[in-house]
Amino acid sequence: MVKNFGYKILSDASIDFDRNDKRIADYLKAHEPSMNLCIGCGSCTATCSAGHFVDFNIRRIHTFIRRGETNQVKRDILKCMFCGKCQLVCPRGVNLRNVILTINRAIEQTG
Amino acid sequence: MINFNLFVLPFFLGLIYLVAKIGKTWYRWIKALPAIDKVKFIAGIRHPQLFLSALKEVFLEALIHRRMWKRNPLLGYMHMSFALGWFLLIVCGNIESRFYSGTHLNAPYYPIFLKFFIHDKLVLFFEVFSVPGFFRFLMDFLLLFVLSGLVLALIKRQKSKWFGLKRTTEFQLTDSISLACLWLIFPMRLLAESYTAGYYGSGGGFMTQPLGNLLVAITPFRSDYAAYSMWWGYSLSLGIFFITLPYSRYMHIPTEVLLIFFRHLEIQPKKWYSSFSDVEVQACSRCGVCIDVCQLNDAGINDSQAVYFIRGVRDKYVPEEISRKCLLCGRCQEVCPVGISTDSLRLIKRRELVSGQASDFSYLTTQRTGAPCQGEVVYFAGCMSHLTPAIIRAMKGIMEQAGISYVHLDENGSVCCGRPLMIAGKDRQAQGLIDFNKRLIGLTHAKLLVTSCPICYRVFREEYNLPIRIQHHSQFILELVKTGKIPLQGHFKNVAYHDPCDLGRGSGVYTAPRELLSKIADLVPVPQDANNALCCGGSLGIFEASQQQHNAMTAVTLDMLMKNQPEILATACPLCKKTLEKQSPVAVKDIAELVYESLPKPVYFAASGQSHPAKSYANELI
């Protein structure tokens, strides 16, 4: 009998940069280099149409991509409505609609 | 005499090959039409009225080149002289040949090389005023007509600006071969006919006879062989042209005829690549008219204009980014002399590219977005309007003043209309958004849908199949003004109106915004407006352009808009407003804002003793 003490052992949350899948990050860097201009201000996320209704956060997706946590990216990217507001508010001129499209393509190609 | 000589073979074999090739291709295209279009096609060509109207259009476009004339008279003349001149040469040559053969069943090559076959017929002086004499004059005249076009074509290679073209298309190998042969055909014919007339004294026309005499005089070896070699040259250039035609840009000549028929029989472009698309692609003459009007030139992009894209589709190789490198502003479509739906072709290719990608909008529920209440008018501001809240404020103010019970559908965050996804080729994915929006609109029980965004307006009209009326706010406000629901007081000086692409070229709404503006403002003329208007540069259609490239296009558009020194730039699209105002030297306002500002002020503004509630609250704080 295991007594329920009200706590559990957390799964390992460490991120191994050497083992993680950086293919989406590389693909994005090669095909839409304007993403490198991002300063992470979060304007895109603040104005996001989809983000208004659901947990959808472009800045976080960007972080996931850089870390190579592709499962979350694959799950989240489906929610984008593609309206393009993010691109209009971006103070760095990141070509965000193409970023999303490029991520879609990267997922398609990397499986 | 047997009317045959070995030199007719290159022409004759080329012609047989060409006819067989075109026949096979046409058969394949018509066979591949969807069943409904096939029925339309067969019923259409049996319908005499439809058939004749299509034939008339073929005559006006394929022979006279009416649209080319409108674009530039010199360009129009050049194309007409080739097409109409050659056509008449064939027809008149055929009629002429009947006089000599005395039969209705001539070999196809007989009229073409008629002057050779009749070189031994003596011509008497008085015959000049007879029917054969008239034909000799006519045939010379027509040949001169075609040759004048050829001279223009040669000039155009060097001075394309005279023809209204700043840039022309780059050629491929087959194009160059075909072009060389095409250009050789008529000089060779002139040489052959002239020499024959001079050498045999067989009677040429006003041009061929003197030229023939001259040729004979200056040729050192006067012989049958000289005449033969010229006829051989003429036949060879015809033959090689016919054989290369299906593989070069000149395939547009027969294909345009079929395209005009398709269009007249109401066969529409599809969402996927169909034989209609194939016909459109082959009907492109690569004249390059679309290159100059493309605003991507301003951004330094010069490899993805419609003509290059279509060439890529034809050669079965379109680099991915070429499909995505287009504003979808529709300017090329407006000027295309063949009327090819370039935007819809581009979208077809985009659909193919993203077919394997998914979207998931299951999160959209009325619990999340809130169920709308009911009203007579449903107002959909659109995503872009959320970035220009002044437009929403103005629209609400106007509707309140007019006493309209409206439902603001996207007050708490908007669900995208779906067009941005469709522009990326994701029609299937956009369906999730369309279905959800349709449900929301249905819940309001409204009879009229008003939107502030031309992008939404277009997709509501084209894709939603709503049972209610759909209006852009410029049309809606105009109706309010006309029915006297809102009084207009203010007046603005020097306003220039910028046509949004999706409202103007996309949806054909040109007059409503102008009529509305003219009630409250003095409009200054804009050099390029209505269907020739420039895109603001902020189009969602393009994916492969940097912010700097967008800005470069906007700068050119602003230069054009500011030509007559307006004090206010008016537009009817939140995206245009947002794009233009970043770089504009003057204020950029939406029509709704201008109307709202020209409404009589509410009482608490006008009354002198009372101050604005917000102001008094501010005073309290101080």
Q: Which residue has the tokens 């201008």?
A: B594
Q: B29 or A12: which carries more pLDDT confidence?
A: B29
CA B402 to chain centre: 41
Give a yes or no: residue B608 inside a domain: no
Q: What is the percent of chain A with per-residue pLDDT over 70, rounded to a whole number?
A: 98
The answer on B150 and B57 residing in a single domain is yes
Give a yes or no: residue B62 inside a domain: yes
Q: B28 or A14: which carries more pLDDT confidence?
A: B28
Give a yes or no: residue B559 inside a domain: yes
Across the interface, which of B357, B386, B575 has its CB nearest the CB of A104? Answer: B357
Lookup: tokens for B295:
């605003």
The answer on B209 and B128 residing in a single domain is yes
Comparing alpha-carbon positions, the chain A residue that sits nearest to B422 is A82
Q: Check pLDDT > 90 for residue B597.
A: yes
Q: CB B538 to CB A81 under 8 A?
A: no
A95 touches chain B (CB under 8 A): yes
Last residue of a domain, one of B481, B497, B529: B481
Angle between helices B8-31 and B224-244 (to 10 degrees): 10
Average pLDDT over residues B368-389: 91
Give a yes or no: residue B542 inside a domain: yes
Q: Is B452 helix (H, G, I), strand (E, B) or coil?
A: coil
B360 touches chain A (CB under 8 A): yes
Instruction: Write the CB contacts of A61 (distance below 8 Å, at least 6 apart in sequence).
Output: A72, A73, A76, A77, A103
Give a yes or no: residue B197 inside a domain: yes
Q: Check pLDDT > 60 for residue B611.
A: no
B543 touches chain A (CB under 8 A): yes
In angstroms, the separation between the Cα of residue A7 and the nearest Cα of chain B is: 31
Question: What does the pLDDT look like over B15-71, one tens digit per residue?
Answer: 999 999 999 999 999 999 999 999 999 998 899 999 999 999 999 999 999 988 988
Reported as half-sphere exposure (CB side, CA atoms, 13 A), residue A110 has a value of 19
The answer on B328 and B210 residing in a single domain is no
Q: Which residue has the tokens 């002044």?
A: B390
The answer on B452 and B396 residing in a single domain is yes
B425 touches chain A (CB under 8 A): no
Q: Check pLDDT > 70 for residue B614.
A: no
The answer on B208 and B187 residing in a single domain is yes
Size of interface A-B (CB pairs under 8 A): 86
Q: CB B415 to CB A78 under 8 A?
A: no
Comparing alpha-carbon positions, the chain B residue that sits nearest to A56 is B363
For residues B372 and B416, give the distance between their C-alpha atoms in angstroms, rounded to a whole number.
16
Q: CB B360 to CB A98 under 8 A?
A: no
The answer on B104 and B247 residing in a single domain is yes
The answer on B522 and B403 residing in a single domain is no
The answer on B492 and B477 residing in a single domain is no
Q: Cβ contacts (< 8 Å) between B386 and chain A: which residues?
A: 47, 49, 85
Q: What is the percent of chain A with per-residue pLDDT over 90, rounded to a whole number?
A: 71
In angstroms, the separation between the Cα of residue A71 and the nearest Cα of chain B is: 15
Across the interface, which of A78, A84, A101 has its CB nearest the CB of B360? Answer: A78
Residue type at position B462: E
Angle between helices B389-401 and B473-482 (to 10 degrees): 30
CATH at B532: 3.40.50
pTM beyond 0.90, yes or no: no
Q: CB-based burial of residue B502 (10 Å sphere; 0-12 exposed, 13-18 middle, 19+ buried)? A: buried
Average pLDDT over residues A77-101: 94
- The lowest-confidence range among A68-72, B437-441, B553-557 is A68-72
- The lowest-confidence range among A3-17, B294-308, B420-434, B502-516 is A3-17
* Structural domains counted in chain B: 4
Lookup: tokens for B367:
């619990």
In angstroms, the separation between the Cα of residue B304 and the nearest Cα of chain A is: 17
Q: Is B142 helix (H, G, I), strand (E, B) or coil?
A: helix
Q: Which of B370, B359, B367 is nearest to B410 (CA)?
A: B370
A80 touches chain B (CB under 8 A): yes
Give a yes or no: residue B409 inside a domain: yes
Q: CB-based burial of residue B281 (10 Å sphere; 0-12 exposed, 13-18 middle, 19+ buried)? A: buried
pLDDT band at B604 (very low <50, low <70, confident <90, very high): very low
Average pLDDT over residues B407-431: 92
Q: A10 or B243: which carries more pLDDT confidence?
A: B243
Q: Check pLDDT > 90 for residue B422.
A: yes
Give a yes or no: residue B618 inside a domain: no
The answer on B186 and B84 residing in a single domain is yes
Q: Which of B347, B333, B327, B350 is nearest to B542 (CA)?
A: B327
The secondary structure of B59-119 as a DSSP string is IIIIII-HHHHHH-HHHHHHHHHHHHHHHHHHHHHHHHHHHHH-SS---THHHHTHHHHTT
The answer on B548 and B430 residing in a single domain is no
The answer on B319 and B236 residing in a single domain is no
Q: Quick one: pLDDT at residue B608?
A: 45
The answer on B317 and B249 residing in a single domain is no
The secondary structure of B478-501 as a DSSP string is HHHHHTTSS-----EEEEEEEPPT
Give a yes or no: residue B359 inside a domain: no
Q: Quick one: pLDDT at residue A55?
A: 92
Cα-flanking dihedrals φ and ψ of residue B587, to 5°?
-65, 140
Q: What is the percent of chain B with per-residue pLDDT over 70, rounded to a whole number?
A: 95
Comparing alpha-carbon positions, the chain B residue that sits nearest to A35 is B546
Domain that holds residue B343: 268-293+301-353
Q: B82 or B205: which carries more pLDDT confidence?
A: B82
Q: Which of B1, B244, B185, B183 is nearest to B100 (CA)?
A: B1
Average pLDDT over residues A90-105: 94
Question: What does the pLDDT look like over B250-293, one tens digit per residue?
Answer: 999 999 999 999 999 888 888 999 999 999 999 998 888 899 99
Last residue of a domain, one of B481, B498, B524: B481
Q: CB A47 to CB B387 under 8 A?
A: yes
Question: What does the pLDDT look like over A26-43, one tens digit per residue?
Answer: 999 999 999 999 999 999
Question: What does the pLDDT look like over B491-548, one tens digit per residue?
Answer: 899 999 999 999 999 999 999 999 999 999 999 999 999 999 999 999 999 999 999 9
- Mean predicted lDDT score pLDDT of chain B: 89
In angstroms, the separation between the Cα of residue A54 and the nearest Cα of chain B is: 7
Q: Chain A interface, mutation test: which of B547, B549, B554, B583, most A Cβ atoms within 10 Å? A: B547
Q: Chain B interface, mutation test: which of A45, A49, A72, A105, most B Cβ atoms within 10 Å? A: A49
Q: Cβ contacts (< 8 Å) between A54 and chain B: which residues?
A: 363, 368
